Structures are given as C-alpha cells and as structure tokens.
Structure 1
Amino acid sequence: MTSFIWSGMSNGGSSGGYFFGDGSYGLNVKDSVAEAGTQVIVYPWSGGRDNELWTIDSDGHIISQLNDQLFIGLSQRARVA
C-alpha cells in the first residue's frame, strides 16, 4: 500500500483515497529526480504524484513510489568530544 506522508492544518478533504486538509504539506522527492542523494523536502500536496507517495517495507525503510530503489536514509556523523 502506498501512502502520502503529510502534515498540515486540516479543514478536511480527500483525493484518491488520501485524506488531507487545506494547506497540507508532505514529503516530496525534490524535482522528481529518482537517484541517490536527491533531497526529500516538505512541499504542498499536489494530488498524489509518484514523488509524493511512499511505502514502508517490513524492515521499516521508507521507499519512494517514484523508484523502488529510492528510500529515505539518515546519515550518521561522528561526534567530536
């Protein structure tokens, strides 16, 4: 199942089975570029384009509908004591 991961002030509404409010924002693959290192941004809901839709697999990876090899990753930085 594909989901829209969103945040916003809700006045109610839905589209294509996704519920959202006026002024909804969601995680979006910037410029629909389906390659590693592309930024994931918070952007106004555009109706369910592939760069706005995500799946969470059994390992907890958040995968873009744009490309099933594109997922959200977190980098770990060494802490300087």
Structure 2
Amino acid sequence: MKKEIEETLEKVKELEKEDPLSEEDLKKSDEEFRKENEQLKKMLESEFSYKYKGKKVRISLEEENVELKKILEQMRKSQPT
C-alpha cells in the first residue's frame, strides 16, 4: 500500500513538471468554485421560502407542485365550460 502511494506521488510530481498549475490557475478555479457555491446557496435560500404571518416557511418543490395542482383543479371546476 505504501509503495502504491509513493508511486502515485511520483507520477503526480512528474505530471506537475510537465504541466504545472500556476498560483493564478489555482486562484481562478477556487474563485469559480466559490462563485458557483454562492449561487447554489442563494438558490436554496430563496427557493420556496415564504413569510407567513411573520414566520419564515419553507416549502419543497414537491409540496409546491401539489398545491399548484390543487389550485388549478379548483380553478377548472369553478370555470363554466
């Protein structure tokens, strides 16, 4: 096991010599990751969270779809055909 790890580390070192990652590359990928992470965080926070009587309420997509279907059914029933 130790031998395999040492061989892998040697391969990594060889690859780094061939195509080294610059500090700029590392910063760029880290920055992209942070931006993507921040966007996902904002989506999760805003997705289906409502204030109801002053309290923050979260509703999952599935629950939201069920509610929308109920509303649509009621609208269809109440409309004259």
Q: Report the TM-score when normalising by structure 1.
A: 0.24
Larger Rg: 2
If asked which structure has higher relative contact order (CA below 8 Å, sep 6+), I would say 1
| TM-score calculated relative to the size of structure 2 | 0.24
More helix by percentage: 2
